Amino acid sequence: MGCTPLAACALGLGARLTTRHLLYEKETEAALGLPPGVHSYAILPIGFPLGRFGPVGRAPLTEVVYADRWGRPYLT
């Protein structure tokens, strides 16, 4: 089983889904040892942050999740 970004945070780790490595796609695929025809489209780097960061704030679900169309709140 993998570690989600939320679980990583609970362990004091930082995690971020990123596609920035695609700027160096061939070099990244070589470094990862991917065979020809296999590609990475996103990676999830996980590690201990260098600085001290406070708690992560989260917006209420009704502000970020919509039903059927943009701006129509999803009610649970």
Angle CA 5–9–15, to nearest 5: 45
Lowest-confidence range among 5-14, 18-27, 33-42?
5-14
User: What pLDDT, on a 0 to 100 scale, did the predictor assign at position 3?
Assistant: 53
- Determine the longest span between alpha carbons in the chain, in angstroms: 46
Q: Residues 25-74: pLDDT tens digits?
A: 999 999 999 999 999 999 988 888 887 766 667 788 878 888 888 888 88
User: What pLDDT, on a 0 to 100 scale, did the predictor assign at position 64?
Assistant: 81
Which DSSP string do the residues of 12-45 spell out, in sequence order?
T-EE--B-GGGGGHHHHHHHHTPPTT-----B--
Q: For residue 14, how many C-alpha atoms fall within 13 Å in the half-sphere facing its CB?
A: 12
pTM of the model: 0.52
User: What pLDDT, on a 0 to 100 scale, did the predictor assign at position 69?
Assistant: 85
